[in-house]
Amino acid sequence: MSSDQNASLRRDLARLVGSESVLQPSDYGPYTHDATIQRGLLGTPDAVVCPPDAAALARLVAWCYTHDLPIVPRGGGSGLSGGAVPVGGGVVCGLERLNRVLDVDPGLWRLSVQAGVATAHVHRLARENGLLFGPDPGAAEQSQIGGNLATNAAGPHGFKYGPTGDWVTGVDVVLAPGELASFGGRLHKDVAGYDMPGLLAGSEGTLGIITAVRLRLRPAPQRTLAAAIFLADLAAGQRVLLELLGGGLRPAVLDFLDAAALAVCAGTFPGEVPPGSGFVLLVELDGSDAEVTQQAAELLSLLAGGEVLGIQYPRGAELWRWRASLNGAIAARHGGKVSEDICVPVEHLAEAIEAIHTLGSEYSLPTCAFGHAGDGIVHATFMVDVAREEDLARALAAGEAMLEVALGLGGSITGEHGVGWVKRHHLAAQLGPAASEAHRAIKRALDPKGLMNPGKNYPLMNP
Ligand SMILES: Cc1cc2nc3c(=O)[nH]c(=O)nc-3n(C[C@H](O)[C@H](O)[C@H](O)COP(=O)(O)OP(=O)(O)OC[C@H]3O[C@@H](n4cnc5c(N)ncnc54)[C@H](O)[C@@H]3O)c2cc1C
């Protein structure tokens, strides 16, 4: 689009939703990228609009649909798959002004918020009312609850508490060609019709724009106990992981770091790392006082086989602050990194981690792995020296090869961050022909013109 066409578009959009909702090109900066900026992914919006409410958003979608303009929904822009990046232009719809808390019913364990409310605020609201909202993705001050549902985000506590979709009983959405619709509601159980909130979970803005969510919370656990279990190597880590799972332990968190990740971050660990440690499992037990005491005893008895080098019990807040610092510390090691969020069956965790290091040798890149062991989610990480341009290209190629390894192990190309733009060419290989066609049919039914976040998730969905 020429700059004259852009200016004319902005005038049309201002008439539609108010001039205060339409950004000037000088303010587009943050809307040209998400957290994949570290991979160099940038887009060019034709316009950026932040509607004040769902009705204005519906008018905007209707107008774009009539004028064949792509629509790119954007939450907090913390995505790691390029889903909110306007790679092919289009109108970016910022959801940040839809930031009202609609209702809080602590006694009934319910909370309704508009889509633009920050994830961290949802956590605060739940906590202040003695309740728990389980999904805990890492960029919680930046990400929005609508973006969390659109990516079906989880985090360390996803092992026990599942992804965002598991906590949603109802959703308001703007569907093409500009219709406001509500699915589900406040009922904790409702099996009437298709599971539309479930379909929107992980849809990455390709089926509609979420404007509000109704959440089912649960009482906050009375007590938590964090533990770091140190092991000599990957093989011991795999064995102990399977013993804990097979033994019936159900911790809230069951994360891991391999030797290379531990080497980067051991200096800041809130406690003592036993000499010779080559793998660590991070565990959080939660529940009533009595339940935590009982689980802690079970944990010790399951670990009694003699493989463990040491167990530390740091304060939970300190351990999880350290865990949250890993991403930054690993990226800082050489200046940058490419991390893929593959997921494999837990029994193949060690094979996946070995494959990362093999690929690292092939592509001459330092590597490490960390993630959510209980779910089989591995942040397959290739570290890059930002001063060497060729490093990034090699890391991206190694990351792509890692997706194939994940599929070969019966896993998934993404356990957390979604397909978005960066993994769009790999989804068909995971789904196979029949499931791909079912995806295409759903896309055609809900977005016949293919204007909702085109090219994301599954490019062949666009007619
Ligand atoms: C440091 C860091 C740590 C992270 N840790 C985790 C983690 O532990 N677990 C995890 O799962 N993810 C994690 N992420 C990724 C990211 O935070 C999540 O994917 C998050 O859910 C994205 O939310 P957002 O509001 O920022 O969405 P955006 O990045 O703005 O958008 C993501 C996708 O959702 C769509 N979208 C956004 N809002 C809406 C809406 N209202 N309606 C329809 N579609 C919409 C966009 O079009 C895009 O496709 C992390 C990211 C960072 C930077």
What gap in Å lies between CA 122 and CA 127, rounded to an integer?
9
Chain segment 183-233, per-residue pLDDT in tens: 999 998 899 999 999 999 999 999 999 999 999 999 999 999 999 999 999
Q: What is the whole-number distance in angstroms between the Cα of residue 453 and the centre of ligand 1?
A: 14
State both tokens at 170: 């109802």
Which secondary structure element, helix H or strand E, spans residue 180, and what is its range? strand 179-184
Tell me: pLDDT of 461 over 70.
no
Q: What is the mean pLDDT of residues 432-437?
A: 94
What pTM value is reported for the model? 0.96
324's CB contacts (< 8 A; 6+ apart) are 138
Is the predicted pLDDT of residue 158 greater than 90, yes or no? Answer: yes
Q: Whose CA is nearest to atom 27 of ligand 1?
A: 147
Sheet strand arrangement including 101-105? 101-105, 110-114, 209-216, 168-175, 179-184
203 lines ligand 1 (CB under 6 A): no
Q: Which of 78, 172, 375, 422 to mutate to test the pocket of ligand 1 (most atoms within 8 A of CB)?
A: 78
- Rounded to whole angstroms, the Cα distance separating 324 from 156 reads 10
Per-residue pLDDT, 251: 97
Atom from ligand 1 closest to the CA of residue 203: 44
**pLDDT confidence bin for 460, thresholds 50/70/90:** low
Q: In this predicted structure, what is the pLDDT of residue 3?
A: 85
Could you give the CA distance from residue 41 to residue 421 in angstroms, rounded to a whole number?
9
pLDDT score of 462 more than 70: no
Q: How far apart are CA 282 and CA 371, in angstroms?
A: 10
- The protein residue whose alpha carbon is closest to atom 5 in ligand 1 is 138
- Confidence (pLDDT) at 292: 97
Q: For residue 140, how far is its CA from the centre of ligand 1 (angstroms)?
A: 9
Q: Whose CA is nearest to atom 48 of ligand 1?
A: 83
Q: List the residue whose alpha carbon is closest to atom 3 of ligand 1.
A: 138
Ligand 1 within 6 A of CB of 371: no
Q: Quick check: 207 and 443 in contact, CB under 8 A?
A: yes
Angle between helices 349-362 and 234-246 (to 10 degrees): 160
* Strand ranges inside 319-418, DSSP E: 335-343, 367-372, 377-385
What is the pLDDT averaged over residues 414-426? 95
pLDDT in tens, 360-416: 999 999 999 999 999 999 999 999 997 888 999 999 999 999 999 999 999 999 999
Burial of 258 (0-12, 13-18, 19+ CB in 10 A): buried
* Pocket lining: 168 vs ligand 1, CB cutoff 6 Å: no
- Mean pLDDT for the chain? 95
463 pLDDT tier (thresholds 50, 70, 90) = very low
Half-sphere exposure of 252 (CA within 13 A, CB side): 23
**How many C-alpha atoms does 181 have within 13 Å on its Cβ side?**
15
**Structure token digits, residue 459:** 């490019």
Separation between Cα atoms, residue 199 and residue 23, nearest integer Å: 31
Query: Which residue from 61, 151, 416 has its CB within 8 A of the most atoms of ligand 1, so it is best to mutate?
Result: 151
For residue 147, the CA-to-ligand 1 centroid distance in Å is 5
Whether cis (ω within 30° of 0) applies to the bond prior to 177 is yes
pLDDT at 321 over 80: yes
Residue whose CB lies within 8 A of the most ligand 1 atoms, among 48, 50, 60, 80, for a mutation test: 80
Ligand 1 atom, smallest distance to 74 CA: 30
CA nearest to 423, candidates 414, 433, 410: 414
d(CA 352, CA 340) in angstroms, rounded, equals 12
Got the DSSP string for 201-223?
A: TT-TTSS-EEEEEEEE-EEPPSE
Model confidence over 53-94: pLDDT tens digits?
999 999 999 999 999 999 999 999 999 999 999 999 999 999
Check pocket membership of 327 for ligand 1, CB cut-off 6 A: yes
**pLDDT one-digit tens code per residue, 29-59:** 999 999 999 888 999 999 999 999 999 999 9
How many angstroms separate the CA atoms of 288 and 214, rounded?
Answer: 27
* 332-363 residues labelled b (16+ CB within 10 A) or e (exposed): ebbebbbbbbbbbebebbbebbebbbebbeeb
